[in-house]
Structure 1
Amino acid sequence: MTDNRVDPPFIADETPMLHTWLDWHRETLAVKCAGLSEEQLRLRSAAPSTLSLLGLVRHMADVERHWFRNVLNGENTPGIFWSDQHPDGEFDLVDTASAEEAFARWRAEIDHARDVSAGLSPDTVGKQQRRGADVSLRWILVHMIEEYARHNGHADLLREQIDGVTGE
C-alpha cells in the first residue's frame, strides 16, 4: 500500500503546522482507499448506514469545496456529489459512481484549497459567513483536520471490514 504521508513536525509555526496536519489527514484517507477495487470502495458499513470509502472520498470533495471555495474564497459553487434533491448523494449514490472521477474531483478540490489558502494568515476572515458569523482560516483548518480525523476513523473500520488491513 502506497503511503505518501509526511509526518507533521513536532515544532513549527502555527500555519505550517495546521497545513501539514491537514495534508497528513488528507493522505490518510487516500492510504485507507489504496489498492481497493471500485466494488470494494463501494461496500457499505452496516445497514441502514450508506457509509462507504467511496462515499467518504466524495463527501470530502464536497467538504473541501464548501469551506475553501465558498466560505474562504467567496465562490458560490454547488455541491459536486450532493444536491437539494439528494442531500446525502455523496454517500447514497455510489452504486454506479466512478471511483476515478471521485478521486480526481477530490484531488482537484484539495489543490484548489491549497491555492486559495496559500500565504494567508490564519486570522484571514472568509468572504462568506457561516450561521451568521465570520469564519477565520484558522477555524476552517482546525475544522477540516477534525472532519478528516473523524472520517478517517470510519475509513479505518471500513477498510478492516473489507480486507483486514489496519493501521495509522
Structure 2
Amino acid sequence: MTTQRTEPARNADERTMLEGWLDYHRATLALKCEGLTDEQLRTAAVAPSELSLMGLVRHMAEVERSWFRRVFAGEDAGPIYYGEADPDGEFHPGEADTWKDAYETWQAEIAASRRSAAGHSLDELSRSRHHSHSEPCSLRWIHTHMIEEYARHNGHADLIREAIDGATGE
C-alpha cells in the first residue's frame, strides 16, 4: 500500500477546504504507519506512554465513528475496540491484532463519516450530543475538531515513528 497525500487547495470554498485538510491529516497518519511490521505498529515506543501507531489508528477509527456517526447522524453505533473491561481498548492492541484489520476498520469508518456528512450543510446541527458537550454541534465544528484531533495525534505519530526506525518528515 502506498498512501497518496494531496495538499489541500489554497483557494477553495470552506467545505472543500475543511474536507481537504481532514483528508490530508488522515493520509498523514497512514504515511506514518507505512512500511512497518505489525509488531512495530503495536510498539509503544515513547516511554512511559502506551501509545502505538496501531493504537492511534484504532483510536481514530473510534473518533470518526463517534463524531460523524453517533453525534452528527445520531446512529446507535457501539464501540469497536473499547468496553467496560478496557475503556481505552483501542490503545491496547494485542499480538493477534493486525495492521490489515486496523487499517480496514479505520478506512471503513472514514467512508461512513463521509456518508454521514454528505449532502448536509456545514451549519446543520448534530442529531445527538457528545458525552462531554451539553449542546449539539454543527458539522463545521465536527470537521474542525477532527482536523485538530488528527493533527494532535499526527504529532504523536511523528515521535513514535522516529523512535521505532528513525524515520522523520511530514
Whether the 8 Å CA contact 2:42–2:93 is kept in 1: the answer is no
Equivalence map 1:1-150=2 (5 Å): 2-130=2-130, 131-150=133-152
Question: Equivalents in 2 of 1:93, 1:54: separation in Å?
Answer: 7
Question: Equivalents in 2 of 1:74, 1:159: separation in Å?
Answer: 35
TM-score (norm 2): 0.94
SS of the aligned residue for 1:107 comes to: helix
Deviations 1:8-27 (A, max 9, x none): 01111111100000000000
RMSD, matched Cα: 1.3
Q: 1:156 aligns with which of 150, 155, 158?
A: 158
Provide closer, same or farther for how the CA distance between residues 25 and 49 of structure 1 changes in structure 2, counting only shifts above 3 A. same
Question: Equivalents in 2 of 1:48, 1:97: separation in Å?
Answer: 22
Q: What percentage of residue pairs aligned between the two structures are identical?
A: 54
Q: What is the Cα deviation at residue 2 of structure 1?
A: 3.1
Runs of 4+ in 1 over 2 A off after TM superposition: 45-48, 92-96
Runs of 5+ consecutive residues of structure 2 not aligned to the other structure: none
SS of the aligned residue for 1:159 comes to: helix
Q: What is the Cα deviation at residue 138 of structure 1?
A: 0.5
Q: What is the Cα deviation at residue 120 of structure 1?
A: 1.7
Matched to 2:150, the amino acid is Y
Matched to 1:65, the amino acid is R
Aligned residues: 168
Runs of 5+ consecutive residues of structure 1 not aligned to the other structure: none
